[in-house]
A = this chain, B = another copy of it.
Amino acid sequence: MSDQGARTRRRGEELIRAIHDAVLEEVVEVGVGRLTMDGIGRRAATPRTTLYRRWPGPIEVLLDALYHQHPVEEPAPGADDLRGDLIRALRLMVEWALSPAGRAVAAILTDPKGAALMSEALFERVFANRGGTFTRTVLRHYADRGRFPAELLTPVVADIGEALVTKRLIDTGAPPTDEDLAAIVDQAILPAIGLGP
């Protein structure tokens, strides 16, 4: 155990993790439609026999890798800082969206044959089966405390922030800055709940 440097082969958990990391990177680079056992194996520096011993095909490797990622972090609204909490929630969303798992989920959801593979169970695993997402969690927290009329928190309003961030990511591929997130909160979300300028 004391001479780990002399080992030439990965084994067990270490090998699985390397394969998981490799498939998440590979799908981001080539997309679901071009995902192959060959590609994953090359990236993980492991032969295909090693992959086929555990998984029937590349999609299964990918879904297994996603299954074993940490669930998405939940926004933690504070005492009384609606605006700040919304911005932090959106930042959390951006960070996740740009993570290997986030990018992989996006790749699956936007692939014509990929979306059907994203089972309900996996979706709940990734998002830890919470009743809300990013800004919805914050908005509900403050509506419950009377910060704004709860009836204004409609599905449309709950979606505004994340929709704008999602479109931004698609349009430019670049992460929005904190100024961008603040603009989304100030110009779109707060007016929608009656707290505009």
Interface set of A (CB-CB < 8 Å, partner B): 28-34, 106-107, 109-113, 115, 152, 154, 156-157, 159-160, 162-164, 166-168, 170, 173, 183-184, 187-188, 191-192, 194, 196
Contacts and interface: CB of A to CB of B under 8 A. Distances in A.
A18 to B, nearest CB: 22
- Tallying the copies of this chain within the complex gives 2
A112 B170 contact: no
A56 to B, nearest CB: 19
Given A32-B33, A167-B167, 13 more contacts: A31-B32, A31-B112, A33-B34, A110-B110, A154-B187, A156-B183, A160-B160, A160-B164, A162-B167, A163-B164, A188-B192, A191-B192, A191-B196
Nearest to A166: B167
29 contacts: A29-B112, A30-B112, A31-B31, A31-B32, A31-B33, A31-B111, A33-B33, A33-B111, A34-B113, A109-B170, A115-B173, A152-B187, A154-B183, A154-B187, A156-B184, A156-B188, A159-B167, A160-B160, A162-B167, A163-B163, A163-B164, A166-B170, A187-B192, A191-B191, A191-B192, A192-B192, A192-B196, A194-B196, A196-B196
Nearest to A165: B163
Nearest to A154: B187
A157 B194 CA distance: 15
Given A30-B33, A113-B31, A154-B183, A188 B160 contact: yes
Q: Considering the complex of A and B, which 6 residue pairs feature the smallest CB-CB distances, nearest first?
A: A33-B33, A110-B110, A163-B167, A163-B163, A33-B34, A191-B191
A29 B115 CA distance: 12
A194 B196 CA distance: 8
B156 A164 contact: yes
Contacts of A112: 28-31, 107
